[in-house]
Amino acid sequence: MILDTLIFSVPEAAAIAWLICGLTGTKMDFIKIIALGVLMGLLSAAIRPLTGSYILNVIAYTSVLMALFSIFRISSFSKRLTSVLIAMSVYLMIEFLNIKAIQTIFRLDPAIIIDNIVLRFLWFIPQLTAAMLVAFLITKYNCSLFTEE
């Protein structure tokens, strides 16, 4: 459980937090993004066993993200809400495409991967890399959803 949290939940949460910061146009140093990722990763690991369903987990995850970004006062409510929902949608799309691509290319059964942490990690790396690349590009080229007037 702890190893899963450190390997999967924390980096995933950091990538999503970076996406949200980029989409809101918030200038946040990388240490704070990592801190948010660690906090969100730990919370998501605690929530996951309670939800029991993938869709309920996504809803709970999104709600906790909104709460954390509200506590840290990242942007206005409407910007936060829009950015959190879009960042979650982008991440879920990347996750779906990654799963489909790897299943198709390597003809792997997802049931086998769940039990093998090395395969799960190798399955996870392209999705994490893609999410971080999107976050980097959004941040680097100031492609936030909102313009300041």
Percent of the chain with pLDDT over 70: 98
3-state SS assignment for residue 25: coil
**pLDDT attached to residue 108:** 82
Place of tokens 């003809």: 107
How many other CB atoms are found less than 10 A from the CB of residue 34? 16
pLDDT digits (tens, 9 = 90+) for 43-61: 988 888 898 899 999 999 9
* pLDDT(149) > 60: no
How many other CB atoms are found less than 10 A from the CB of residue 16? 27
SS (H, E, C) 6-64: HHHHHHHHHHHHHHHHHHHCCCCCHHHHHHHHHHHHHHHHHHHHHHCCHHHHHHHHHHH
**pLDDT attached to residue 74:** 86
* pLDDT(71) > 80: yes
Q: How confident is the model at residue 106 (pLDDT cuts 50, 70, 90)?
A: confident
Q: How many helices (H) and strands (E) does the chain have?
A: 7, 0
Average pLDDT of the segment spanning 19-39: 91
**pLDDT attached to residue 27:** 86
Q: What angle do CA 65, 68, 74 make, to 5 degrees?
A: 100
Straight-line distance from the first to the last Cα atom of the chain, in angstroms, rounded to the nearest whole number: 46
* pLDDT(72) > 90: no
- For residues 100 and 143, give the distance between their C-alpha atoms in angstroms, rounded to a whole number: 28
**pLDDT attached to residue 135:** 96
Q: Are 131 and 91 in contact (CB under 8 A)?
A: yes
